Amino acid sequence: MSKPYNPVLTVGAPAAAALTANRFVTYAGAVPAAGAGGCGVARSDAAIGERVPIDVLGIVTIETGGAISANALVETDNQGRAITRNTGVVLARLTHGQSATGAGQFVEAILIPN
């Protein structure tokens, strides 16, 4: 079964840091601090100064930073990867049936504006 990927809104922004595709990004075009807010997920890699498409609303593919239970709320680690929400800002929820057993996996999630 293919994974749902349905970004509803994508914006372009200059990268303020080296960005990796499928990881969370801040409004300033940087990698967020662990548990911090963000504006969306980078659709592609980008070097500093390059314009990067950022999915800010919809269902997107996100790289994980650890094990995540099905349908869990997620926040970001210090590399922009999705981890199970602890005390940080909620950035997304895994879609139905999506889960991860460790870091470096790719899951589909519904972005939650913050």
Q: How confident is the model at residue 34 (pLDDT cuts 50, 70, 90)?
A: very high
Mean pLDDT of the region 59-84: 97
Q: Is the residue at 33 inside a domain?
A: yes
Q: How confident is the model at residue 1 (pLDDT cuts 50, 70, 90)?
A: very low
Q: What is the pLDDT of residue 64?
A: 98
User: How many structural domains are present in the chain?
Assistant: 1
* Domain span holding position 74: 6-111
Q: What is the pLDDT of residue 71?
A: 92
Q: Is the pTM of this model over 0.85?
A: yes
Q: Is the residue at 75 inside a domain?
A: yes
Residue-wise pLDDT tens digits, 45-69: 999 999 999 999 999 999 999 999 9
**What is the full DSSP assignment across the chain?**
-PPP-EEEEEEEEE-SS-B-TTSEE-TTSSPPPTT---SEEESS-B-TT-EEEEEEEEEEEEEEES-B-TT-EEEE-TTS-EEE-SSS---EEEPTT--BSSEEEEEEEEE---
Q: Is the residue at 81 inside a domain?
A: yes
Q: Is the residue at 1 inside a domain?
A: no
Q: Is the residue at 88 inside a domain?
A: yes
